[in-house]
């Protein structure tokens, strides 16, 4: 161990032993656990500590003495700097095994649930080009890479279009090639950047000082071949805005929905902003098993379309519907699961907090001629009560797909009070799911657990649990 007066110590010749939560690998030095990103079990590295607490530390690998035998070559030049695809140095079969272990660890340690019910994880058929949505940020202060620092030339143009550096709201990594989405994302982003560089009056956004013109670019694709592009500007400049949008429309005739937003707020979300149509439709269409879903610029839809189909098939299998059941779909979003299950149920009731999403759910039901789904907007803990159950009936099956924070205790109490025969719990956060399952186990038994990998090369995992009433 060597000391640096201005920095925390460097730990030398440390063996990486395992993979932990949040996608980081871990090493153990004496009695201290050290979390190190972008490393793999079997690596032997020198670690520059960046944070030190009494029970653990965080650091980064600054030298590799030995590389793990199972390490693979990262496919992206931005690996190690970009906040996404942190596991691309691990073979895919190892990635999904670590995800299954993550599910088991949360179930046993947090939920106190036996792991015998965990089925093999469903891997993604596609591990590249699997996303249907990406969002890029324009910044006038791009992140300087090691390549910039090694160069004898000054960095020059500081504008960049890309992803935020983790933990730094005002720093953006300029992305040249991203393999998460169809290559249209690269061609479109680079063409817009080149146009802005070659024409005056298109300053990239200053995130810290909140000034500039070009703000964000959102690209959505669908399995039907339709393409949506949303350009977000910080302020209105009609001539320049229309010139750029006209250029994009001319260069990319495959865009079926070209939209724009003027967002003068401090944050980038467009959920509360007016979205204007420049060319084409105000939506794209997604298709699944003969059902068509209208996807607007603000709509939530699982970002891995192919794997979403496999996920919903698991939900349908676990729900075990015979055709005469009343199903409640909690946190229904745009009603994808509710409408997907409707043909197998007598009636499906969807509840969702976001009113716009409920409007989309109703449109999608109408679009597909579905007459037995009914959607309600409001806070789950306020809507799901005895009065609601008395009015609409007690469910035979409850599907619940809450946000990462899991379910409010009041919602769990309401589910226990509703006493459905089966509960199918879909989660993007196995830790909060395990916490909720432990409370539901007062009246239910966890029968099956099915992990589903929606996001290859990341640590994220979707998980489906089947519970039956005791």
What are the residue numbers of the active site?
A: 428
| 143 phi, psi to nearest 5 deg | -70, 130
What gap in Å lies between CA 186 and CA 262, rounded to an integer?
A: 23
What gap in Å lies between CA 403 and CA 331, rounded to an integer?
A: 8
What gap in Å lies between CA 241 and CA 235, rounded to an integer?
A: 10
- 313 in Cβ contact with 303 (< 8 Å): no
Instruction: Kindly give, in sequence order, each residue whose CB lies less than 8 Å from that of residue 470, ignoring residues fewer than 6 positions away.
Output: 443, 444, 445
Name the residue with tokens 């907007």.
Answer: 377
Q: How much is the CA Rg of the chain, to the nearest whole Å?
A: 24
What gap in Å lies between CA 425 and CA 463, rounded to an integer?
A: 8
Long-range contacts of 72-80 (CB under 8 A, 24+ apart): 75/128, 75/179, 76/177, 76/178, 76/179, 77/176, 77/177, 78/173, 78/175, 78/176, 78/178, 79/38, 80/38
Longest dimension (CA), the chain: 74
- 59 in Cβ contact with 27 (< 8 Å): no
Any idea what the Cα angle at residue 46 is, between residues 45 and 50, rounded to 5°?
A: 120
DSSP type of residue 426: E
Among residues 464, 368, 470, which one has the least CA distance to residue 419? 470
Among residues 350, 298, 351, 330, which one has the least CA distance to residue 407? 330
Beta bridge partners of residue 280, listed in sequence order: 257
Among residues 346, 343, 362, which one has the least CA distance to residue 354? 362
Name the residue with tokens 């186990």.
Answer: 441
Q: What angle, rounded to 10 degrees, do the helices at 92-109 and 430-440 form?
A: 30
User: Helix (H, G, I), strand (E, B), or coil: what is residue 108?
Assistant: helix
Long-range contacts of 3-7 (CB under 8 A, 24+ apart): 7/48, 7/49
């Amino acid at each position: 161990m060597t000391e640096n007066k201005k920095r925390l110590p460097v730990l030398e010749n440390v063996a990486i032993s395992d993979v932990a939560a949040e996608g980081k690998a871990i090493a153990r030095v004496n009695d201290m656990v050290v979390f190190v990103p972008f490393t793999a079990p079997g690596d032997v590295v020198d670690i520059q500590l960046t944070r030190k607490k009494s029970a653990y530390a965080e650091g980064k690998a600054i030298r590799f003495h030995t590389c793990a035998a199972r390490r693979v070559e990262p496919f992206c030049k931005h690996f190690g700097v970009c906040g996404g695809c942190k596991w691309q140095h691990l073979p895919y079969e190892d990635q999904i095994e670590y995800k299954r272990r993550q599910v088991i660890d949360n179930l046993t340690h947090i939920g106190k649930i036996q792991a015998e019910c965990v089925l093999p994880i469903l891997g993604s058929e596609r591990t590249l080009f699997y996303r249907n949505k990406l969002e890029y940020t324009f910044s006038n202060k791009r992140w300087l890479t090691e390549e910039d620092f090694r160069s004898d030339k000054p960095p020059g143009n500081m504008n960049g279009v890309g992803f935020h550096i983790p933990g730094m709201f005002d720093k953006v990594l300029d992305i040249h090639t991203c393999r998460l989405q169809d290559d249209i994302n690269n061609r479109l982003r680079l063409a817009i950047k080149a146009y802005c560089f070659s024409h005056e009056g298109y300053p990239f956004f200053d995130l810290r000082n909140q000034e500039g013109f070009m703000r964000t670019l959102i690209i959505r694709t669908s399995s039907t071949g339709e393409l949506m592009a949303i350009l977000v500007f910080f302020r209105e400049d009609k001539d320049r805005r229309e010139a750029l949008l006209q250029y994009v429309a001319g260069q990319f005739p495959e865009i079926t929905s070209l939209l724009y937003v003027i967002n003068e707020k401090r944050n980038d979300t467009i959920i509360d902003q007016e979205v204007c149509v420049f060319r084409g439709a105000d939506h794209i269409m997604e298709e699944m098993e003969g059902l068509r879903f209208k996807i607007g610029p603000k709509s939530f839809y699982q970002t891995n379309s192919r794997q979403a189909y496999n996920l919903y098939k698991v939900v349908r299998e676990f729900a075990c519907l015979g055709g005469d059941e009343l199903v409640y779909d909690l946190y229904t979003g745009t009603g994808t699961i509710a409408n997907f299950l409707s043909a197998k149920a007598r009636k499906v009731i969807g509840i969702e907090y976001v009113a716009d999403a409920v409007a989309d759910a109703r449109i999608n039901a109408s679009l597909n001629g579905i007459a037995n789904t009914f959607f309600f907007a409001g806070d789950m803990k306020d809507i799901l009560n005895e009065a609601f159950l008395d009015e609409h009936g007690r469910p035979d099956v409850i599907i619940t797909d809450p946000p990462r924070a899991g379910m409010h205790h009041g919602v769990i109490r309401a589910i226990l009070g509703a006493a459905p025969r089966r509960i199918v719990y879909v989660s993007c956060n196995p830790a909060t799911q395990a916490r909720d399952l432990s409370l539901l186990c007062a009246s239910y038994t966890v029968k099956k657990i099915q992990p589903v990998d929606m996001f290859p090369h990341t640590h994220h995992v979707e998980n489906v649990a089947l519970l039956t009433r005791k």
